[in-house]
Structure 1
Amino acid sequence: MRPDTWHLTRDLHRFLGHARDFLHSRPALHTLPLTVTETLRTQGVDTYGPDAPVFGWLERGGQVRAAFFRTPPRRLTLTPLGPDETDALAVLLADLGHPLPGVSADHDTAGAFAAAWQRSTGATPVLQERHRLYRLGELRPPQPPPAGRGRVAEVRDRELLVRWYRAFGAEIGRGAGQGAGAWADVRIAARRVALWERPDGTPVSMAGASPMVAGQIKVAPVYTPAHLRGRGYAGAATVEVSRAALAAGGTDVVLFADLANPTSNSLYRRIGYRRVTDFTMYDFTTGPGPV
Structure 2
Amino acid sequence: MDAVVHSTLESFDAATHDRLAADPVRNTIALTSLDRLRRLPATDASPILITFHENGEVVGSLVRTPPWPFQAADLPLTAVDLAARIASEIDPDAPGVTGPRQRSEAFATATGKNFTESLATRLYRLGTLAPPTIEGSGRMASEADVELLGAWRKSFTAEAVPEAPAEQGIEVMRSSLRLGNGHALWEHNGVPVAWAAASLPQAGMTRVGPVYTPPEHRRHGYGAAVSAMVSQWALDQGATDVLLFADLTNPISNSIYQRIGYEPLDDWAEFWWKH
TM-score, scaled to structure 1? 0.88
Q: Which residue of 1 aligns with 2:184?
A: 194
Tell me the CA shift for residue 185 of structure 1. Answer: 2.1
Q: Using the alignment, how far apart are the partners of 2:86 and 2:174 within structure 1? A: 40
Matched position secondary structure for 1:45: coil
Contact 1:194 1:241 in 2 (8 A): yes
Tell me the CA shift for residue 6 of structure 1. Answer: 1.4
Q: Quickly say closer, same or farther: Cα 1:220–1:96, change in 2 above 3 A.
A: closer
String of CA shifts for 1:65-112, please: whole Å, max 9, x gaps: 211111223211112444432122112333556343211121111121
Q: Using the alignment, how far apart are the partners of 1:197 and 1:240 within structure 2? A: 12
Contact 1:124 1:284 in 2 (8 A): yes
The alignment status of 1:6 with 2:3, answered yes or no, reads yes
Q: Using the alignment, how far apart are the partners of 1:138 and 1:88 within structure 2? A: 42
Q: Using the alignment, how far apart are the partners of 2:2 and 2:245 within structure 1? A: 31
Q: Select which of 262, 267, 284 maps to 2:256.
A: 267
What residue identity is the alignment partner of 2:130? R
Q: Using the alignment, how far apart are the partners of 2:204 and 2:87 within structure 1? A: 32
Show structure 1 runs of 5+ residues with no match.
Answer: 287-291
Q: Quickly say closer, same or farther: Cα 1:81–1:157, change in 2 above 3 A.
A: closer
Tell me the CA shift for residue 9 of structure 1. Answer: 1.8
Contact 2:80 2:107 in 1 (8 A): yes
String of CA shifts for 1:110-153, please: whole Å, max 9, x gaps: 121111111xxxx21211111111111111112xx111111111
String of CA shifts for 1:148-190, please: whole Å, max 9, x gaps: 111111233232212211211221213454x222233234453
Q: Quickly say closer, same or farther: Cα 1:39–1:176, change in 2 above 3 A.
A: farther
Contact 1:169 1:175 in 2 (8 A): no
The alignment status of 1:140 with 2:111, answered yes or no, reads no
What residue identity is the alignment partner of 1:136? L
The alignment status of 1:214 with 2:203, answered yes or no, reads yes
What residue identity is the alignment partner of 1:257? A
Q: Quickly say closer, same or farther: Cα 1:274–1:63, change in 2 above 3 A.
A: farther
Q: Using the alignment, how far apart are the partners of 1:90 and 1:191 within structure 2? A: 33
Q: Which residue of 2 aligns with 1:289?
A: none
Q: Which residue of 2 aligns with 1:166?
A: 154
Q: Select which of 244, 247, 263 maps to 1:258.
A: 247
Q: Using the alignment, how far apart are the partners of 1:175 and 1:72 within structure 2? A: 9
Q: Quickly say closer, same or farther: Cα 1:10–1:267, change in 2 above 3 A.
A: farther
Q: Which residue of 1 aligns with 2:69?
A: 75
Matched position secondary structure for 1:147: coil
Q: Which residue of 2 aligns with 1:152?
A: 140
Contact 1:132 1:275 in 2 (8 A): yes
The alignment status of 1:241 with 2:214, answered yes or no, reads no
Q: Choose 1 or 2 for highest CA Rg.
A: 1
Q: Quickly say closer, same or farther: Cα 1:138–1:97, change in 2 above 3 A.
A: closer
TM-score, scaled to structure 2? 0.92
